[in-house]
Amino acid sequence: MAAPLSTGVGELVDARPDEEVRTGEPKAAHIVKSDGGDAVARVVEARIYGTPVEALCGTVFVPQRDPTKLAMCGICKDIYETYRAFNEGLPEQPDT
């Protein structure tokens, strides 16, 4: 259990993530939630700083592997295809 961190301004911040972060060898490549921003930039930043990201399927993980060498997560793919059906202009494949 991580101890709270002091921010130096009289307030404590809990450094523990709310979600369980998966570690180990990935079994599938996930599509990361973009929250309206650039998903590729979020993944690059997460790889550099080791921060977790959330996939469309709800999996929370720290990106560590080349996603082009893994099979696509079926749940993420289905969710992305549903988004495409309701949003014009989305590419057939998300950015990798």
* Angstrom distance (rounded) from CA 67 to CA 21: 18
The number of distinct structural domains making up the chain is: 1
Position 64 in a domain:
yes
Q: Could you list the residue range(s) of the whole structural domain that residue 41 is in?
A: 20-86
pLDDT for 1 equals: 46
| Residue 4 within a domain | no
More confident residue, 30 or 18: 30
Flag whether pLDDT at 70 surpasses 70: yes
Asked whether residue 65 is domain-assigned, the answer is yes
What is the DSSP-derived secondary structure letter of residue 50?
Answer: T
Whether 92 is covered by a domain: the verdict is no
pTM exceeds 0.85: no
Q: What is the pLDDT at residue 65?
A: 82
Query: Could you give the C-alpha distances from 32 to 1, 63, 75, 90, 95, in angstroms and in order?
Result: 27, 10, 12, 15, 10
What average pLDDT is seen over the chain? Answer: 77
